[in-house]
């Protein structure tokens, strides 16, 4: 399918790449492709970035019929641009689509839209260390009718923006609050899908945590309110007595691509990685006995982010003396090294544009 390109007549001023705030500076163009039941995907196009015409009755506005992905394009030392595991994001999006009854997007079409948009916006891919072009593909249900049914008309859209660190702390450890009132997801719900409603459910707790001085919340399972699931925008890992622990993919935890990549790297380095049920009590007990050596989050936006403090009810523990731990730093260096093309890519994760 040929992608029609309509160029913007005036181009925006690009932001200073040494002071990028995550997700604020959208580029000049976006990619859109329509889907209609009976016709399939049609009219792929790149058009000037701008507001979407949307019927006020569109299902996305009422029933959160929306799924999304997060990925990045990286500028390498020789000035070229590369993506990291883009096919994994598309496969995950199709998993999310299946969960909320949206159509499957063919891998070739999604990849063509993403790569063409990044090519059109190549001057927006920043050169500064630790910066990249964040890519946000999303799919919305547009049927203008208030009945609760899956839409027959859907759009897959891609927008992009240059980004630096997700947290203002950068690589300094973040403080995380273990949420004990709200839950993000339950088994059988949509926790493993990347759908907007999951993030709406997280806003109240995130807001309260922020007001109390925490960067994000750590979610517990919705049934026992006991087992660790994930942090607001990242999966979570712990190093306890030399072993790496991370919650297993139990149906309500997001199958993070950075999570997967970190597990692979840790195994390559000979670590035991246990993917299993982990209670918050186990982690607090490990912190109190000195067995908890490191904790960090993983995500496309957050990359590998050290956790320096965990708080739950009236308990508070410091992790790794509130410093980035050795494994956290090694994972950050190796993963970002692969992403920016500074180190070898033994698992074939990179796709060059
Ligand atoms: C990402 O890491 O790309 C995400 O999608 C998290 C997002 C909610 C900021």
**Weakest-pLDDT range from 33-37, 65-69, 199-203, 325-329:** 199-203
SS3 311: strand
> What value does the mean pLDDT of the chain take?
95
| CA of 300, closest atom in ligand 1 | 2
Helices then strands, counting H and E runs in the chain, come out as 7, 18
pLDDT-derived band at 188 (thresholds 50, 70, 90) equals confident
187 pLDDT above the threshold of 80? yes
301 lines ligand 1 (CB under 6 A): yes
300 lines ligand 1 (CB under 6 A): yes
70 lines ligand 1 (CB under 6 A): yes
233 lines ligand 1 (CB under 6 A): yes
What pLDDT is recorded for position 60? Answer: 98
Ligand 1 atom 6: the closest Cα is on which residue? Answer: 233
What pLDDT is recorded for position 169? Answer: 75
Across 33-70, b (16+ Cβ under 10 Å) vs e yields bbbeeeeebeebbbeebeeeeeeeebbbbebbbbbbbb
| Overall average pLDDT of the 315-324 stretch | 94
Ligand 1 atom 5: the closest Cα is on which residue? Answer: 70
Residue partners of 135: CB distance under 8 A and separation at least 6: 69, 70, 71, 72, 73, 83, 114, 117, 118, 158, 160
Pocket test for ligand 1, best of 301, 305, 339 (most atoms within 8 A of CB): 301
Ligand 1 atom 3: the closest Cα is on which residue? Answer: 70
pLDDT-derived band at 53 (thresholds 50, 70, 90) equals very high
> How does pLDDT run across 154-178, given as a tens digit for each residue?
999 999 999 988 877 778 899 999 9
What pLDDT is recorded for position 302? Answer: 86
Between the CA of 299 and the centroid of ligand 1 the distance, in Å, is 7
Other CB atoms closer than 10 Å to residue 213's CB: what's the count? 10
179 pLDDT above the threshold of 90? yes
**Is the Cβ–Cβ distance between 162 and 121 less than 8 Å?**
no
336 pLDDT above the threshold of 90? yes
How far, in Å, CA of 208 to CA of 205, rounded? 5
103 lines ligand 1 (CB under 6 A): no
Between the CA of 234 and the centroid of ligand 1 the distance, in Å, is 7
How far are the Cα atoms of 152, 174, 180, 257 from residue 185, in angstroms, in the given order? Answer: 27, 23, 13, 19
How far, in Å, CA of 64 to CA of 256, rounded? 21
If phi > 0 it is left, if psi is from -120 to 50 it is alpha, else beta; for residue 188 that is left
| CA of 22, closest atom in ligand 1 | 9
Q: Note the pTM of the prediction, 2 decimals.
A: 0.94
| CA of 69, closest atom in ligand 1 | 5
Between the CA of 291 and the centroid of ligand 1 the distance, in Å, is 30
Between the CA of 255 and the centroid of ligand 1 the distance, in Å, is 12
């Amino acid at each position: 399918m040929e992608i029609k390109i309509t160029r913007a007549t005036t181009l925006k001023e690009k932001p200073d790449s040494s002071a990028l705030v995550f997700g604020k500076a959208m580029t000049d163009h976006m990619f859109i492709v329509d889907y209609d039941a009976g016709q399939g995907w049609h009219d792929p196009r790149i058009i000037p970035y701008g507001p979407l015409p949307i019927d006020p009755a569109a299902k996305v506005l009422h029933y959160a019929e929306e799924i999304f992905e997060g990925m990045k394009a990286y500028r390498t030392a020789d000035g070229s641009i590369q993506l990291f595991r883009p096919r994994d994001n598309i496969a995950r999006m199709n998993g999310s689509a299946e969960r909320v009854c949206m159509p499957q997007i063919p891998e070739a079409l999604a990849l063509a839209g993403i790569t063409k948009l990044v090519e059109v916006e190549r001057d927006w891919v920043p050169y500064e260390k630790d910066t990249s072009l964040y890519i946000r593909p999303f799919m919305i249900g547009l049927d203008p009718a208030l009945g609760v049914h899956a839409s027959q008309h859907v759009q897959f859209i891609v927008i992009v923006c240059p980004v630096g660190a997700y947290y203002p702390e950068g690589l300094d450890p973040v403080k995380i609050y273990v949420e004990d009132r709200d839950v993000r997801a339950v088994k059988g719900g949509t926790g493993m899908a990347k759908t907007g409603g999951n993030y709406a459910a997280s806003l109240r707790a995130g807001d309260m945590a922020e007001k109390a001085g925490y960067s994000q919340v750590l979610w517990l399972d919705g049934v026992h309110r006991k087992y660790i699931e994930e942090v607001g925008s990242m999966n979570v890992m712990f190093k306890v007595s030399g072993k790496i622990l991370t919650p297993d993919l139990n149906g309500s935890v997001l199958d993070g691509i950075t999570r997967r990549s970190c597990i692979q790297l840790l195994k390559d380095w000979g670590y035991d990685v246990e993917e299993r049920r982990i209670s918050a009590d186990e982690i607090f007990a490990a912190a109190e006995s000195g067995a908890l050596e490191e904790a960090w989050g993983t995500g496309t936006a957050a990359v590998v982010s050290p956790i320096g403090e965990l708080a739950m009810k009236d308990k508070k523990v410091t992790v790794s003396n509130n410093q980035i731990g050795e494994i956290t730093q090694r994972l950050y260096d190796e993963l970002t090294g692969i992403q920016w093309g500074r180190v070898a890519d033994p698992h074939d994760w990179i796709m060059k544009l």
